[in-house]
Structure 1
Amino acid sequence: MTTHLDTDWTWRARRLADDLETRGDLTDPAWKTAVAAVPRHVLVPEAHQQDSTGTWQQLTTDSGEGLELAYSPTTLITQLAHRGSHRESTSSSTKPDLIVRMLETLDIHDQHRVLAVGTGTGYTTALLAHRLGDRNVYSIDIDPALVETARTRLASLGHHPTLDTRDGADGLSEHAPYDRIIATCSVPRVPWSWAEQLTPGGAVLVNVKPNIHAGNLALLHRHPDRLEGRFTERWAAFMTMRHHPHNQTPPTPRASTEGTEPRTRTTTTPPSPWWDNRVVWLLAQLHGMPTGVTIGMRLDPDTQQPAAATLTAPDGSTAEVSLTASDDSRHELTETGPTHLWDPVEHAHQTWLEHDQPDWPRLGLTATAHHQWLWLDHPDNPSHWSL
C-alpha cells in the first residue's frame, strides 16, 4: 500500500538527484539512481538544528519541513554531546552533494569492494549497497549504538552489508582487501593499516586535517611501498575521528599567562587563514604550529562585531590579530605567553607566496609505514614538509 509519505519522499529524492546532476556534483547515472532510490529520512528520522539563539532544537524528517531538509544538500546533525555548559555535534549525516562527489572522485566500479569508515546514519553505506550489492560493502564506526541503529534501518530497506564496531584507524582487516576506502571523518595522519588493507592500485579518500580547518580531502592510491596522491580541488572537512579512551592522549591542562607582559607588533600576513586561506593554514601546522591550538574571534564590545582573530595554545600562549589593516596593509598583533603563535602563520604565508600561491590541486601527500609528508607539484619536489 502506497502512503502519502511514500509519495512525498520519492519525488523529493528524485528532485535531489536531478539537482545534484544540474549542479555538477553528480555525473554517473548509477549514483544518480542510488540517490533517487535511497530514503534518507528513514536513515535520519531525527535531526538537530540550532536556532537564532544558538539553542539546539530537534526535528523529525517525516513532516513536510523535515522531508525538505532530508532531501536537500544539507548536513543533518544527528548526535550531540554535553561539553560543560554547551552541547556540540558528534555525529551527522553528511551533505548528499559532498558524498556523491566523494563517491565519484573514488572512481568506484560495479564489482569493487568498498570499506566506509564512519557508518554514522548509514546513508553513505546505503548508497554503496544500492550500487554494489551488500556483499561488496563494509562499514565501521566506533559507536556501537550508531552501528546497531544503522544496521536496523538499513535492514528495513532491504540492505544487509557487513557492519562492525571498530576504531576507524584499525580498518576491518578480516574482510580485506578492499578496492576503495572512503572515510567520513578526519585524521591528522593517514592510518597505515588502511594501506595494508587496500588492493594494489586501490584508493582511499580521506580528510587529512592536523588541526581545525587545516586540511582537505586527499585521494591517495596504493603503491607497493606507499600511499600517494593529491588533495581535491574543492575544500571539504569532517569531524575528527573518535578513538577509544585508552587510545587518546589526555588533554594538556591550559597554563595561565597571568602577569606576563604582552608583546605588540604589526604583521602583513592576513589575520584569519583558517577561513580565508586554508592552504596557508595547513602549511602553518607544518611550519611549527603547536598541537591543540584553537581559533576564535574577539568582538568589539560596542558593536559586537568581530574585531580581531585569536589563537590560543594549550600552554596558555595567545595571539590576537586585528581584522582592520592600516593604510600600508599592516595589522596590529598582540601575543602573550611563551610561544610565538603567529610566527608559523607568517612563515607559511611567505612559503605560499614564494611558490606562486598554490591552491589545493598543486599539493600532494605521500604516506609510508613510518613517515608522511606534504609535497608541492610532484612527489620528488624538494619542497616538502613532514606531517
Structure 2
Amino acid sequence: MTAWQQLARGLADEVEADGATAWRDALESVPRHVFVPRFYVQHADGGWTETTSRDDGWMTAVYRDRPLVTELATTPEGHRVTVSSSTKPGLMVRMLEALDLHAGHRVLEIGTGTGYNAALLAHRLGSEQVFSVDIGASLVNAARARLTGLGLAPTLAATHGADGWPQHAPFDRIIATCSLPQVPWAWAEQVSEGGRVLVDLKPSVHAGNLVSLTRHADRLEGRFLPRWAGFMAIRDEDSAPETLVPAVDLDEGTRSATRLDPLPWSSLVPWFLAQAALPGEVAFGYRGDKAVFSTNDGSWASIGLKPDDTGEREVRQGGPVRIWDAFEAAQRTWDELGRPNWDRLGLTVTPDGRHRVWLDAPASGIGWDLR
C-alpha cells in the first residue's frame, strides 16, 4: 500500500466515524492529492500562505477531513478572494448519500471545481453517467486533465451552472456544490420526474442550507438536510466576485437597542426565515465596531459589536425596510414555534419561481415565501 493509499484509508475511517459509509470504496480509491496540488490558508491579517506538493505536510493535510481553498482571484480593489475550493470530504459524502444514487443514474454536477467530486461520482457510476459544469474555464480544463490522468472521462464544460446542461438532459440527479439565491426552474425541466435536486439555497450570506428536492409533475419539493453546510456563491462570470460593501451613512436612521448577537448567522434558522421579509440579497460588512447590513433598495442596519453594561447593543436602521426588525421578528416567531431545526423545514418550488418554505409539511399552514 502506497503512502497516499494509507492516508486515504485514514480519511475514509474519519468520514465513516462521522456516520457516512456508502462511499468508503470511492474515498479509498480516488487520490484526492491529484486534485489538490496546492491549497491556501488565510491568516488573521487577511494574507494567504500557499502550500504545494513540494512542501512538507502537504499530502497529510490533503487527506484530512477538511475543506481546502484551491483557487484565488484578485478583485478590482486588489483583494484576493476565494473562487474555488475542495469541499470537506465528509460533507461531499453526506451530500452524495442524500442523492440516493443507484447504478444507471445520470448525474449533473454544478460546480466542477477541482474535479474530485466528479471523480468520486465517476468511480461509483461510471464516467459516461457523470456530467459537470463550472463557470471557470481554467478550473474545468485542469479538472479534465486530472481526471484523464486517472482514466476517468466524465463530460465537462465551462458554462453557467444556473442554466444546467439541456443538451444532455434528462438527468436523474442534479447536485450543486455552490450556493444559489434561488433554485433555477431550468434544473427542474432537466430532471426526470421522481429525480432529485440537491442544492445549497442561500438568498443571502449564510441564510439557508442544503435542501433535497424531488421532481414532481408540477413542482420541486423536499426537506432541508438536518446539518447546516455552506458553499461559495455561484459566480455569473469567470472572474473574481464583486466585493459587496454596504455604502450607507451610519449617522442617519432611527435608533433602537437589541440583545441579540449582531451576527445573525449565530442563529441560522431565524436568519434564513427573515429573508421572507427582506427585499433581496443582504450585503454585509464591518465598519469599525459595527456590523452593517444593506440591500439594493437602500435599506440598511448597523449593530454594535460590543454590548454595553446592560447587555444591549445600539441599532441604527434606515431605508424602506428595517432589516434588523425583520430578523428580530423572525427570531420571535422561531421561539414561539419551539425553535425548529432544519429537519423540520421544507421547500416547494413552482414554475412561476415561487419558493415556499414550510414547517413540518407543505399543507401545515405555517410557511414563508422567499423573495
* TM-score (structure 2 length as normaliser): 0.91
Q: Give the aligned partner of residue 362 of structure 1.
A: 344
Q: Residues 39, 63 of structure 1: CA spacing in aligned structure 2 closer, same or farther, 3 A cutoff?
A: farther
Q: Take 2:2 and 2:244, find their aligned partners in 1: how far apart are those partners?
A: 53
Aligned partners of 2:245 and 2:283 also within 8 Å: no
Taking the TM superposition and a 5 Å limit, the aligned residue runs for 1:50-199 are: 50-61=42-53, 63-83=55-75, 84-199=77-192
Deviations, residues 288-330 of structure 1 (Å, cap 9, x unaligned): 255333154754xxxxxxxx54434453733214543765xx6
Deviation at 1:208, TM superposition (A): 0.2
Q: Take 1:355 and 1:124, find their aligned partners in 2: how far apart are those partners?
A: 38
1:38 aligns to 2:30 (yes or no): yes
Q: Give the aligned partner of residue 284 of structure 1.
A: 274
Q: Take 1:131 and 1:325, find their aligned partners in 2: how far apart are those partners?
A: 56
Q: Give the aligned partner of residue 377 of structure 1.
A: 360
Q: Take 2:308 and 2:173, find their aligned partners in 1: how far apart are those partners?
A: 47
Q: Residues 11, 251 of structure 1: CA spacing in aligned structure 2 closer, same or farther, 3 A cutoff?
A: closer
Q: Take 1:62 and 1:203, find their aligned partners in 2: how far apart are those partners?
A: 41
Deviations, residues 356-383 of structure 1 (Å, cap 9, x unaligned): 1111011110001112211111111222
Report which stretch shifted further, 42-51 or 224-233: 42-51
Q: Residues 38, 267 of structure 1: CA spacing in aligned structure 2 closer, same or farther, 3 A cutoff?
A: same
Deviation at 1:51, TM superposition (A): 3.4
Q: Take 1:165 and 1:23, find their aligned partners in 2: how far apart are those partners?
A: 34
Alignment equivalent of 2:17, drawn from 16, 22, 40: 22
Q: Give the aligned partner of residue 9 of structure 1.
A: 4
Aligned partners of 2:109 and 2:118 also within 8 Å: yes
1:353 aligns to 2:327 (yes or no): no
Segments of structure 1 that go 5 or more residues without pairing to the other structure are 1-5, 300-307
Q: Give the aligned partner of residue 303 of structure 1.
A: none
Deviation at 1:265, TM superposition (A): 2.2
Aligned partners of 1:257 and 1:316 also within 8 Å: no
SS at match of 2:281: coil
Segments of structure 2 that go 5 or more residues without pairing to the other structure are none
Deviation at 1:129, TM superposition (A): 0.5
Q: Residues 336, 198 of structure 1: CA spacing in aligned structure 2 closer, same or farther, 3 A cutoff?
A: closer
Q: Which amino acid aligns with 1:82?
A: T
Q: Which amino acid aligns with 1:333?
A: E
Q: Take 2:45 and 2:313, find their aligned partners in 1: how far apart are those partners?
A: 32
